[in-house]
Structure 1
Amino acid sequence: MDTRHTLRELLRQELDLGERADALADDTPLLGALPELDSMAVIAVITALEEQFGLTLDDADIDGSTFATFGALYRFVTERLADGSREG
């Protein structure tokens, strides 16, 4: 599976989006637009990202812009995968 699909499935599961996850496009707003994505859900998504992709994420790396849109979150994940932010 590709990263975009995996990320979409992760959000489907963590936020209980159901079929709405299928419509997530790069310009789809997340934070502030999805009622399911509250502060507790952000923590759950970050934890799921670490587990699913084998990443080690630092709080300093994440801010509101990370969750602004689906595309922003996808770019964040792919950049971390590319720069080797994997657990060692």
Structure 2
Amino acid sequence: MVEFDDVKRLIGEILQLGERVRTFGPDTPLLGSIPEFDSMAVVTLINALEEQFGIQVADDEISAETFETVGKVYEFVREKVMAGT
């Protein structure tokens, strides 16, 4: 099972946000709102999500909308895990 806090913690680790990540909720904006969240961070996060949750993310599944908020990343990962992909 994928927990919101696990996804949030992973985002904090990848972006090296330290204690800032503690205040993140589902509606916390990511893309365009956090300077550390650039294109390289997106790639690093995708790789970490794949490894941590045993999912595969195809290129055509990657969109700005997926990384718009912490909650959207969580929902994306949860759906992938539930689908077994």
TM > 0.5: yes
State the superposition RMSD in angstroms: 1.2
Higher relative contact order (CA 8 A, sep 6+): 2
Following TM superposition, the consecutive aligned residue runs of length 4 or more in structure 1 with deviations greater than 6 angstroms are none
In the alignment, the residues of structure 2 paired with residue 62 and residue 29 of structure 1 have an alpha-carbon distance, to the nearest angstrom, of 17
- 1:5-24 equivalent positions in 2, closer than 5 A: 5-24=5-24
Equivalent AA in structure 2 for residue 76 of structure 1: F
Unaligned 5+ segments in structure 2 are none
The number of aligned residues is 85
Which TM-score applies when normalising by structure 1?
0.91
In the alignment, the residues of structure 2 paired with residue 8 and residue 55 of structure 1 have an alpha-carbon distance, to the nearest angstrom, of 17
Give me the identity figure in percent: 46
In the alignment, the residues of structure 2 paired with residue 59 and residue 29 of structure 1 have an alpha-carbon distance, to the nearest angstrom, of 22
Which TM-score applies when normalising by structure 2?
0.94
Give secondary structure in 1 for the equivalent of 2:6.
helix
- 1:67-82 equivalent positions in 2, closer than 5 A: 67-82=67-82
